[in-house]
Structure 1
Amino acid sequence: RRQCGGGTGFHHKRALFSLCLVSCDGGNILVVPLDVSHWVNMKVILEELHSRGHNLTVIRASNSWYIPEESPLYTSISVEMDESMEDFFDVYLEEQLRAQREGASFWTFLKLTTHWMSMFSNFQEMWAEVFIKIVEDQKVLQSILESKYELILTDPAMAVGLYLAKFLKLPVVLNVRWITSGEGHFALAPSPLSYIPVPGSGLTDKMNFIQRVKNFLLSSIDLFQQKFMVEPCYFAIREKYFEGRFDIISLLQEADIWLFRSDFVFDYPRPTMPNVVYIGGFQCKPAQPLPADLEEFVQSTGEHGVIIMTLGTLVNALPADLTDEVARVFAKLPQKVIWRHKGATPSTLGNNTLIVDWMPQKDLLGHPQIKLFVAHGGTNGVQEAIYYGVPVLGIPLFFDQYDNLLRLQDRGAAKILELSDLNADTFEQGIQEVLHTDSYRMNIQRMSRLHRDQPLAPMDQAVFWVEYVMRHKGAPHLRTEAYRMPWYSYYSLDVLLLMLTVLTALIVSTLGVFRFLCCRRRKKSKAKQN
């Protein structure tokens, strides 16, 4: 079994780790994942857990987009869902692409934000219904109880896994970067907005005053979304199935371990907590040999090398006119191109371009002939570009993609080309700049060396901490007590109020004494005069 690591030194460390690791007999794990690209991440962890003898059960929607009902890795519990996430995404993505091409404006931002909040709220309501169907189906619930699960592994972008864990009184491990209110750190660790950019802000950790104002306002939008668009979706569940007052943020803060899909080679330094384990790049492995036909195509390019392009799992193709422009530029290049594209074949397609429905992205990125990665900036693709050391020309489309690419661009390892500026000229200029400016490759390879230079591979860390929680039936000693505190206590506002009250009392008392003494002196002075 191969993991993310560089060089023989790493493998010696891993062997030593394996010898020292406390054994953990195969346990029962209940998994509540999220669909689409989030499932790709979860599946990688499930494969490793399964290989170590753990029994996995996955709760999925019956009309799941990516999560199969039958799998050699797990048994599944399929829950009927009235609508598919795919239906929501199709409309949203179409609007996003149109807005990107038109360019940014306040009204466009407002429209897209409102649409996203509404769609996200609908997702939460759908998954709240899933919770109700599980706990009210006596057959399913009895099966879950009899399985004696030892923990829940969940993706907290939807809160159903958190509620299910509380209902079943099970320890929780989060496979996380995103939560219901945005990026996970903001719910768990101190997050000063003066130097920690909010996702979607397009800012770095070096902000001027106006940028800090923007960062603050965007943070307020996330708080609004959480309080007024997400929390109400679960009101009925809390009233019917639970006692006491709590919210999603407190459930997140109760989680035992956060397997965080990031690291500080990619992200900006910031405060964190002891139960956060950084597993950025955990899905990466040393590249495997390519299929024979693909290897022949890659090798046929000679010294010029190969460019690969993909826009991720959600977008099959750019609009037709842009697709033709991109194909026209590719056709002029001495490099060969492998392009994941599912739309109509561009009329300008060159002989040097191979269009595929699917590509072994990690194995291609690890091939020495790959010179450039044209990508949309999804977290997986960015982490893989870092691991394999391939510079990026980024075309961000939506969600966190611009911010992901910005972190590479800020470190000199990528160039961003926004969709509103994309045409044949800008695309060709971007390709030529990244290909022929040595600093891009040097910087991404430096990031790759830093990322690989770890005492343990990210996947080994992930599995160790899952098994740690199972061995010790939780990890409450790593959790902050902040979630038990009301907000005014967390920020010490009650202490400040007391101090101000005491200080005010002292000042008033002192002034009163001085006034009394002054009045007394005046009375004595008048008495002497009389």
Structure 2
Amino acid sequence: MKVFVLICAFISWCDGARILGIIPMPSFSHQIPFRPIWRELSLRGHQVTVLTTDPMRDPQLTNLTEIDLGFSYEVLKKHGFPDFAADDSLSFRQIGKKFALMINELSAGQLSSPQVKQLIGDESIEFDLLVVEAQIPIYMGFAWRFNCPSVGIASLDANLNFHDSIGNPTHPVLNPDPNLPIVDPDNMTFKERLASFLYIYIYKYLTYNKYYPLEDGRFKKFFGDDAPTLLEVQNNISFVMVSTNPIFHSTRAANPNTIFIGNGLHIGPPKPLPTDLQEYLDSSKNGVIYFSLGSNVKGHLLNDTIKRNILQAFSELPYNVLMKMDTDLKDVPKNVKIQKWLPQQDVLRHPNIKLFISQGGLQSLQESITNGIPLVGIPFFGDQISNVYRMVKKGYGVRVDKNEITKENFKQAILEVLNNPRYREKAKEMGELLHDEPMTSLEKAVWWIEYVIRHKGAKHLRSPAVDMPAWKYYMLDVIGSVLGALFIVLFLSYKILKCVISKLLFGKPKAKKD
């Protein structure tokens, strides 16, 4: 028996890999989707090191080492995020510039932190795989530093340049950027199609001609002067895993090294609610309206008038209201219970929840339809806007503009969803579609991560489009040759026809006199 145990321990040790995970974005909604992956990989015997702004600190996960980057939230606070992202007075370009400055300072602070510098500089540290958020390219440098394959992972859709690195085509009409406020992606207006076209090609021009050359300098600063270009490192990525799903996003053509994990990766098993919360929900015989604007949208983004209108609308409804709000509110009605934090997944599982009022974040939508709960969406910025528009089109919720909330229209939107059974029926239908899959998103993600470890990458799945110059990818030489040949044929035909017509009309020309 002792020999058997030792053999099993040795086999387990041999099978375990050293995995580095990096999720640099200081946002709980970016961190929580990947916690199940780190947990599962560590429980399967892999040695997992994660750079995260929100450590789990679970003592039972002995194979998991977390490097705390929680100080990064101060960078967001300094730059005023998400306030500037929700500021309607700023143009798309102005918001983009502010976001770029914030990300540069964020990555510089994280890469300069003592623990991360030690990780980069210690030659004795080795990793077999890098799993990195497919958002900020400079973190791909860890794949070059440790000479290991890499997997990009996204809590939403991956940035366009990561799709380029996998060889996935991006069509301005079929795949508009989620940050563009498009009402109906399946029936875009001319203005929306033009905006999408300009956005994608301006984004590509600025990314590859301005951003990456600047990042190469920062890449060498943190990883050494002998580092290659950042784009070369990024283009060696093995897989990209994206949290997209046709319920919430446009379908897209994708290569086999694109893995879709948008079926509620973060949704875990039920947990008991706190006693006071359980009693409140149980005692609400008419049902409960749940209000939460997520982890990034803070209460101060709603002005006092709008907050008052929301509370007044709640006071006139025959339902109790459970409200997640991080700021103090005045004149709170008796039927409203406010808390600064709530276990959202388990709240939505309670049978007395009748409606979810949400900012339209992807994870909130996934959790809502998982439990067959219809929605009222109040989008603020980013993909929330396109998410809510698509929610309205799918028919499991209605939209209210954050700047135009009155007591009357807010109350009307709530009653429309609560009194019309088609919204709840559609939410249940969407939930069934979301979870009707051969394997869960977690099982899929872990299987493909271990696939990359087993084969030391996935070069056999690499698209030749990644290495093609633009003129070859778009067949500009072929198109030019065809157009050139066509021009020659038309030109010769014109000359011949002109000559024939000239002879028919004017006969043989007379000889000129000396």
With normalisation by structure 2, the TM-score equals 0.83
Aligned-residue offset at 1:516:
10
In structure 1, how many angstroms separate the alpha carbons of the residues matched to 2:378 and 2:210?
30
Percent identity, please. 27
Q: Which residue of the other structure, out of 182, 189, 192, is the alignment partner of 2:171?
A: 192
In structure 2, how many angstroms separate the alpha carbons of the residues matched to 1:294 and 1:80?
29
Aligned-residue offset at 1:467:
0.8
Contact 2:166 2:237 in 1 (8 A): no
Q: Identify if the C-alpha distance between structure 1 residues 493 and 323 changes in structure 2 by more than 3 Å, giving closer, same or farther.
A: same
User: Tell me, what secondary structure is at the counterpart of 2:211?
Assistant: helix
Q: Which residue of the other structure, out of 255, 264, 284, is the alignment partner of 2:237?
A: 255
Contact 1:195 1:206 in 2 (8 A): no
User: Tell me, what secondary structure is at the counterpart of 1:191?
Assistant: coil
The Cα offsets for residues 12-35 of structure 1, whole Å up to 9 and x where unpaired, read as xxxxxxxxxx99922110111122
In structure 2, how many angstroms separate the alpha carbons of the residues matched to 1:186 and 1:513?
50
Which amino acid in the other structure matches residue 411 of structure 2?
E
In structure 1, how many angstroms separate the alpha carbons of the residues matched to 2:352 and 2:14?
42
Q: Write the mapping of 1:392-407 to structure 2, written as runs, cut at 5 A.
A: 392-407=375-390
1:264 aligned to 2:253?
A: no
Q: Write the mapping of 1:319-468 to structure 2, written as runs, cut at 5 A.
A: 319-344=303-328, 346-468=329-451
In structure 2, how many angstroms separate the alpha carbons of the residues matched to 1:30 and 1:155?
11
Aligned-residue offset at 1:213:
1.8
Q: Which runs of 5+ in 2 are unaligned?
A: 1-11
Residue 211 of structure 1: aligned partner: 192
Q: Which residue of the other structure, out of 38, 49, 71, is the alignment partner of 1:46?
A: 38
User: Tell me, what secondary structure is at the counterpart of 2:273?
Assistant: coil
Q: Which residue of the other structure, out of 451, 457, 467, is the alignment partner of 1:484?
A: 467
User: Tell me, what secondary structure is at the counterpart of 1:342?
Assistant: coil
Which amino acid in the other structure matches residue 103 of structure 2?
F
Contact 2:168 2:254 in 1 (8 A): yes
Which amino acid in the other structure matches residue 37 of structure 2?
I
User: Tell me, what secondary structure is at the counterpart of 2:186?
Assistant: coil
In structure 1, how many angstroms separate the alpha carbons of the residues matched to 2:145 and 2:367?
37
In structure 2, how many angstroms separate the alpha carbons of the residues matched to 1:83 and 1:459?
28
Contact 1:155 1:175 in 2 (8 A): yes
Q: Which residue of the other structure, out of 92, 97, 101, is the alignment partner of 1:117?
A: 97
308-317 or 391-400: bigger deviation: 308-317
215-224 or 202-211: bigger deviation: 215-224
Which amino acid in the other structure matches residue 166 of structure 1?
W
Aligned-residue offset at 1:264:
1.7
User: Tell me, what secondary structure is at the counterpart of 2:83?
Assistant: helix
Q: Identify if the C-alpha distance between structure 1 residues 407 and 232 changes in structure 2 by more than 3 Å, giving closer, same or farther.
A: same
Aligned-residue offset at 1:408:
1.3
Q: Identify if the C-alpha distance between structure 1 residues 187 and 87 changes in structure 2 by more than 3 Å, giving closer, same or farther.
A: farther
Q: Identify if the C-alpha distance between structure 1 residues 501 and 132 changes in structure 2 by more than 3 Å, giving closer, same or farther.
A: farther
Aligned-residue offset at 1:363:
0.9
Q: Number of residues paired by the alignment?
A: 489
The Cα offsets for residues 148-198 of structure 1, whole Å up to 9 and x where unpaired, read as 311100002111221221333211111113555589589742222233332
In structure 1, how many angstroms separate the alpha carbons of the residues matched to 2:408 and 2:494?
75
Q: Write the mapping of 1:123-142 to structure 2, written as runs, cut at 5 A.
A: 123-124=103-104, 126-127=106-107, 130-131=110-111, 137=117, 139-141=118-120
User: Tell me, what secondary structure is at the counterpart of 2:403?
Assistant: helix
Residue 294 of structure 1: aligned partner: 277
In structure 2, how many angstroms separate the alpha carbons of the residues matched to 1:261 and 1:153?
15
Aligned-residue offset at 1:520:
13
Contact 2:360 2:388 in 1 (8 A): yes
In structure 1, how many angstroms separate the alpha carbons of the residues matched to 2:76 and 2:330?
29
Q: Which residue of the other structure, out of 134, 146, 168, is the alignment partner of 1:156?
A: 134
User: Tell me, what secondary structure is at the counterpart of 2:448?
Assistant: helix
Q: Which runs of 5+ in 1 are unaligned?
A: 1-21, 101-107
Contact 1:131 1:164 in 2 (8 A): no
Contact 2:19 2:130 in 1 (8 A): yes
Contact 1:128 1:160 in 2 (8 A): no
In structure 1, how many angstroms separate the alpha carbons of the residues matched to 2:71 and 2:346?
36
Q: Identify if the C-alpha distance between structure 1 residues 140 and 396 changes in structure 2 by more than 3 Å, giving closer, same or farther.
A: same
With normalisation by structure 1, the TM-score equals 0.81
In structure 2, how many angstroms separate the alpha carbons of the residues matched to 1:167 and 1:516?
71
183-192 or 268-277: bigger deviation: 183-192
Which amino acid in the other structure matches residue 157 of structure 1?
Q
Contact 2:319 2:335 in 1 (8 A): yes
User: Tell me, what secondary structure is at the counterpart of 2:15?
Assistant: coil
